[in-house]
Amino acid sequence: MKKIIITIVIGISGMAAFAQSPANTKLSDLAVPASPAFVITDITPTLIQDPATPKSLVLGIAQSTVQQSGLAFPNNYSAEFAPYWWIKPDGRNVYGVLGINKQTGKEDPFAGLKFSRISIAFINKDLIPDTSSGNQKVFAIGLRTTLIKVHGKQWAANITKTIADWVTAAKGELDFTANADVQAAYVRASGNPDKQAQIIKDYNNSMTAASFAAINKLLLQKPTFTWDIAGAYSAYGINNQTISTGRNGAWTTLSYYQPLDKGNVNYFNIGGSVRYLVDNFQKDDAGVIGRANNLDVGGSAGFSFNQLTIGVESLYRYSKGVANTANRTVGVVNFKVAENIYVSGIFGKDFAGPNKIISAFGLNWGFGSEKVELPAGQ
């Protein structure tokens, strides 16, 4: 009963806080965005396609294309994909995806480059802050990659050893008499997938279980250092004849994680970020719409514990154009109350606009298992 009352009180206070400050503040403004094309256009698509082939990308765009005001344009289509998976190169293996050199056992710090992701969006949205409420046909494209990713000294050695343990266990497992019988039955049932699916249920995976769990645990460890970059471009179709460049941006983030315990569960992290944004339709405090070049330079620091993350980020914005030089400093707190239930708070001062003071507090719950990250996380 006590827990229920606490939850209700937190929920009500959260709603009250949001009512006082409707500012739509994100918890990760400093970090390189996962999907730059969506961030540059301020959209959070509920359905993001992940086309497995170029053909499915083209087909998806074609299927969402409709005639609008005499112009064919995809209606709210968004996709994100890594071209690496389109190529499906021969020789793909676990060492390559983990960035481990099979011969030397050393980590390749540039292994993340091949998994660079492209995001694209076709949306109908009013992104010009004028008095007209008409939507523009907006196209945005972005790229995100991890230039450098380095784990701690022991990580590569540990994961190489654990994989070797798995290989040894897997050989024993395949040769295990009961499993050899399963394989023989499976091979005799070749061409009958239903029967094979029944047979394989008897395969005994227990010999590799420990090393498999150990590898998955090592994968959860954060890298010691990462350098991420991203860029995005958007164009607005003002009408059927006029297409204007809208917002463009480039981000880069350096992050350092210091484990606070032997299990690598709790971390202290610091990060530095530079973000360059050009908005050809930015509105300043006086209501003037024009081009603004914004260079944001800042940093973040925070602690990430098992159930609590707390951090602060500060950005200094150098502006040229209609906007003014300003700074933004916010603190962020997330507390995991229970599985998939988080209490989140953000407070501080934003760059500009009628609500410069940020104060938001709320309760987030859901069915996913993703943890809310600190600014500049990942």
Partner 1 sequence: MAQNYTIGASTAQITLELNVNTIGLAASRVFYLDVAGTGAGKAVAHSVDATGDIATAPVGNFSTLKGMRLATFTKISLIGADADARQTEANNCTAECTIDGGDGGIKTYTNPDKTYLDPNVFLSFSIDMQ
In the complex, least distance from residue 59 CB atom to partner 1, rounded to whole angstroms: 18
Question: Can you read off the two tokens belonging to residue 265?
Answer: 């569960």
Identify which of residues 46 and 67 has a Cβ nearer to partner 1 in the complex: 46
212 binding partner 1? (CB under 8 A): yes
6 binding partner 1? (CB under 8 A): no
308 binding partner 1? (CB under 8 A): no
Amino acid at 125: K
DSSP readout, 99-163? Answer: TB-TTT--B-TTGGGGG-EEEEEEEEE--S-SS----EEEEEEEEEEEEEEE--HHHHHHHHHHH
In the complex, least distance from residue 202 CB atom to partner 1, rounded to whole angstroms: 11
Identify which of residues 9 and 97 has a Cβ nearer to partner 1 in the complex: 97
Identify which of residues 188 and 320 has a Cβ nearer to partner 1 in the complex: 188
Candidate residues 82, 143, 147, 174; the one interacting with partner 1 per rule CB under 8 A: 174
For residues 64-103, which are near partner 1 according to CB under 8 A? 85, 88, 90-97, 102
Helices (H), the chain: 2-20, 36-40, 54-64, 83-87, 94-98, 153-175, 177-188, 193-200, 206-219
171 binding partner 1? (CB under 8 A): yes
CA distance 66 to 262: 56
227 binding partner 1? (CB under 8 A): no
- Residue 347 CA: distances (Å) to CA of 26, 189, 201: 11, 63, 53
113 binding partner 1? (CB under 8 A): no
Task: Provide the 10 A C-beta neighbour count for residue 83.
Answer: 12
- Window contacting partner 1 (CB under 8 A); options: 128-136, 201-209, 306-314, 328-336: 201-209
Helix, strand or coil for residue 78?
A: strand
Candidate residues 187, 210, 288, 357; the one interacting with partner 1 per rule CB under 8 A: 187
- Window contacting partner 1 (CB under 8 A); options: 168-176, 259-267, 316-324, 339-347: 168-176
For residues 211-237, one letter each, b for 16 or more C-beta atoms within 10 angstroms of the residue's C-beta and e for the rest, the string is bbebbeebeebbbbebbbbbbbbbbbb
Candidate residues 12, 219, 288, 357; the one interacting with partner 1 per rule CB under 8 A: 219
CA distance 378 to 373: 8
Task: Please answer whether residues 342 and 365 qualify as being in contact, where contact means their C-beta atoms are separated by less than 8 angstroms.
Answer: yes
16 binding partner 1? (CB under 8 A): no
In the complex, least distance from residue 73 CB atom to partner 1, rounded to whole angstroms: 30
In the complex, least distance from residue 79 CB atom to partner 1, rounded to whole angstroms: 15
- Window contacting partner 1 (CB under 8 A); options: 3-11, 169-177, 271-279, 322-330: 169-177
Give the number of residues in contact with partner 1, rule: CB under 8 A. 44
In the complex, least distance from residue 74 CB atom to partner 1, rounded to whole angstroms: 24
CA distance 368 to 35: 19
Residues 6+ away with beta carbon under 8 Å from 139: 120, 121, 122, 234, 235, 237
Looking up tokens 């500060």, which residue turns up?
A: 314
Identify which of residues 202 and 261 has a Cβ nearer to partner 1 in the complex: 202
Sites of contact with partner 1 (CB under 8 A): 52, 85, 88, 90-97, 102, 163, 166-167, 170-171, 173-175, 177, 180-181, 183-184, 186-188, 190-191, 193, 196-197, 200-201, 203, 205, 208, 212, 215-216, 219-220, 369
